[in-house]
Structure 1
């Protein structure tokens, strides 16, 4: 069972640490009104100049259904604790942003793989109508938290709203193009491709030894492309900017609705359901988001798989690290579209 909760100004005040003479983002961002429907809130926000809508997608079922660790439900709150306490100043007019709320998934009573995969498919059915409302208003979605299984629901919602196939780029050591064996965090893109919603797909930072041959063959049959982690960050056969430029040239050919995906287990030592000890620096992840937000006209940013409780020292440190990191990624997405 999935439940959606508005992120109200009252909830925000519990996270904001005010300081005399300063104004925090949380004091400038817009929030929904509980007496209005989601559609009415978004319509009102759009009329008030909101362009970016932050939504928490907080589930653990997708990663666990893919034999991963729990903990992804904590990412949205961790992110908001940091994001709302950043400074509102001349660099950023936060009134263009709304924090709408959080969709939460209860873990099923039975934790066997088949039950978890059924629960993941059920969560899809809650994600799709929620994010569709954002796209219907012509605003951009910033989806935070949960498993990468939610890429399927976001892509399907955008495709059906735009009446078009979707292009997506994904910074991820895993291609998430596993077989259609029941829904989980490792096959959101393969399901979206098989059902016709995903038309173009590029994986940046794909790890050469963390993807099965079957997944690579499925990618090839679909016509997806990739640059590997080893090509860019180990062997340095090309720079990050060169890889981004090559991917951009592919997407520019068809000019499809476009989404930016980032699985934080691509980032070096980020607390996640599948932590990576040899990964991409956070600053490069921010550069990746900035590049495609600047050069494309994206419809969404999806930051997924962060799990603060999986930090190797403590959950409290994990909350700070995840929160600060995701806040940098959100700003990297928004800022170039305001210049």
Structure 2
């Protein structure tokens, strides 16, 4: 029997936020205006807030390690917080449109063998799903900072349950994460688990690398509602990634989540960091072009520091750009500059 430390969800207070905000005379930082939850975590209390977007963190890398990856994804959330909260409050980005909910506190299993890590990943699923369901039931759009890509499954679960229907996802990623569900839960089979439990209407993998897809995964994609856009084809056709992404989004029907694995972007520290992939500004353009088409945003696999010692001091700012782009593109405000 694998023993787990008690897991929980920490709801932020104003004091939690103030600890990260650097005040400056003549300026207003986003953290000075951002909303918090007043009351317990329930759809009723969330509905009271005028904020449309709810941000939360899942700082864990257990699912990554359960997939034989390098730990470190748990460090991204704490890097994101000060970077995001110290953005400028202005006509382009208004803290009153955003509720900063908090983060999951997830303990390590007492043993770190693969089987224990996979059992713990399954336990994380049960922790995350109801929180996402509550947010979506309140009519809000969750923005989730991971954490491993294993959390795609409980995010899809919670969203699907809240909407009482299957949803679709677009996954900007170098890998499909459609591995065999029989292996046990890990970061490589979040979407195949969602298919198994009849939560996904369709899956589009955008930017998948041909070097990292097995024949079995190719066969799986041909026998399920899966569409794969290979990064290699984008390169060989000299196709604009942004235009290709827009074409896919225009054909969306029904609710759809946007998944972005940071290992699809060059120069970003992740367990499976890549020297060849999308540029950060290309992904920003994709978000700015289509954010209002999505019912959630999940940014995963980025890291401030990996277990092998590699660091990326810019990860907090990188995540902040992607999140602020998503919020701006929802057209919450139509700023007019005179």
What's the TM-score once normalised by structure 1's chain length? 0.92
SS at 1:222's partner residue?
Answer: coil
Structure 1 residues 236 and 104 mapped into 2: Cα distance closer, same or farther (>3 Å)?
farther
Counterparts of 1:284-295 in structure 2, within 5 Å, are 284-294=282-292
Counterparts of 1:73-92 in structure 2, within 5 Å, are 73-92=74-93
Partners of 2:37 and 2:302 in 1: how far apart? 25
| Structure 2 counterpart of 1:217 | 219
| Structure 1 counterpart of 2:40 | 37
Counterparts of 1:1-339 in structure 2, within 5 Å, are 1-33=6-38, 36-39=39-42, 43-180=44-181, 181-232=183-234, 234-251=235-252, 255-294=253-292, 296=293, 298-310=294-306, 315=311, 318=312, 320-337=313-330, 338=332, 339=334
Q: CA deviation at 1:134?
A: 0.2
Unaligned segments of structure 2, at least 5 residues: 1-5
Q: CA deviation at 1:314?
A: 5.8
Partners of 1:204 and 1:84 in 2: how far apart? 30
Q: CA deviation at 1:249?
A: 4.1
Note if contact 1:74-1:309 (Cα within 8 Å) is conserved in structure 2: yes
What root-mean-square deviation, in Å, do the aligned CA atoms of Structure 1 and Structure 2 show? 1.6
What's the TM-score once normalised by structure 2's chain length? 0.92
Note if contact 1:227-1:243 (Cα within 8 Å) is conserved in structure 2: no
Unaligned segments of structure 1, at least 5 residues: none
Partners of 1:293 and 1:126 in 2: how far apart? 27
Structure 1 residues 245 and 285 mapped into 2: Cα distance closer, same or farther (>3 Å)?
closer
Note if contact 2:246-2:286 (Cα within 8 Å) is conserved in structure 1: no
